[in-house]
Amino acid sequence: MPDINSPDLISANSSVQSKKTDQLAAGLYLVATPIGNLRDITLRALDTLTNADLVLAEDTRRARILLNTYKIKANLSAYHDHNVAKKLPGVIKNILAGKSVALISDAGTPLVNDPGYKLARACIDAGLSVFAVPGASAVLAGLVSSGLPPDKFMFAGFLPPKTTARKKTLEHMKNVPASLIYFETAKRIAASLEDIQAVFGDRQIAIARELTKKYEEILRGDAVELLARVKETPLRGEIVLIIAPPQEPEMWDETRLRAALGPLMKTQGVKRAAAQIAVQSGHKKRDVYAIALKLN
């Protein structure tokens, strides 16, 4: 979420102008907006905001900065968590009447950690068209700059603010075979790093701070290293927290399996020994059990 007084926002060069085109098709347009630097806007996004019959914004003050920068005169209206019940039926009615409605969030891609999901779902349920106008995303910007595996990732919103709930959430996510992405506040980052260390151990972590803004910074290391840095120099601004996936267990070869199974079967029996060695070896239980039966 950008600071509406940020120099990165108000100094954006608006030399690229939007254009008035033929009327947009009726439907809901989910328009991604910059997460900090206003130059991170797509030409299609500008055209959509220029031509939409109605633009819905989570915070109209922030939206005005973007629209004014690019000299877009839009029919702007607030849409947020507190007016969904009142606003949603009218939006559906407008689209049914052939109108085009653009939805923008405070920053980044709509629906990702903002109130747009209910509106998009309602449009789909009503058989109306929903169009994505892609662009900036703090989740993806943080991931690709983290240096952590990007092939599989899971975005999980904000971590709970209290330690007990936070540790419970982390325990639930501990074995997810993907990079984990969270939003976090500067005020809570130290406490979160302590809980991550307690639950995840020494996994690699990246803290992406103030992405695309003047004071953008990426901190990399394990939880202990980063906690020391954060305590020495407290962080400020918006944070994307990326945690590396769990390491794959080293697969034992058959010689090692047999050597471990032999003595253990004498005290634990075939079934229990196979189950225990399966956990340690990285092999499937049925495969270890088959080898144990041969040895027995």
Q: What is the 3-state secondary structure (H, E, C) of 19-53?
A: CCCCCCCCEEEEECECCCCCCCCCHHHHHHHHHCC
Mean pLDDT score of the chain: 91
Give the residue from 251, 279, 276, 255 showing the smallest Cα distance to 265: 276
Give CA–CA dist 164/96, Å, rounded.
Answer: 47
List the domain range (segments joined by +) for residue 17: 7-136
Residues 42 and 117 in one domain: yes
> Which pLDDT band holds residue 23 (cuts at 50, 70, 90)?
confident
Percentage of residues in the chain having pLDDT higher than 70: 92
- pLDDT value at residue 12: 47
> Which pLDDT band holds residue 20 (cuts at 50, 70, 90)?
low
> Which pLDDT band holds residue 4 (cuts at 50, 70, 90)?
very low
pLDDT tens column, 239-269:
999 999 998 767 888 898 889 998 988 888 8
pLDDT tens column, 52-107:
999 999 999 999 999 999 999 999 999 998 999 999 999 999 999 999 999 999 89
Rounded to two decimals, what is the model's pTM? 0.78
Instruction: For the chain, state the CA radius of gyration.
Output: 25
Residue with tokens 């910074």: 217
Residues 21 and 127 in one domain: yes
- pLDDT value at residue 206: 98
Residues 119 and 173 in one domain: no
Q: Three-class SS of residue 255?
A: helix
**Cβ count within 10 A of residue 162:** 11
Residues 193 and 181 in one domain: yes
> Which pLDDT band holds residue 282 (cuts at 50, 70, 90)?
confident
Residues 31 and 116 in one domain: yes
Domain boundary among 136, 171, 187: 136
- pLDDT value at residue 46: 97
Residue with tokens 């900065």: 65
Number of domains comprising the chain: 3
- pLDDT value at residue 248: 74
Q: Is residue 115 part of a domain?
A: yes
Q: Which one-letter DSSP state was computed for residue 247?
A: P
Residues 114 and 43 in one domain: yes
> Which pLDDT band holds residue 10 (cuts at 50, 70, 90)?
very low
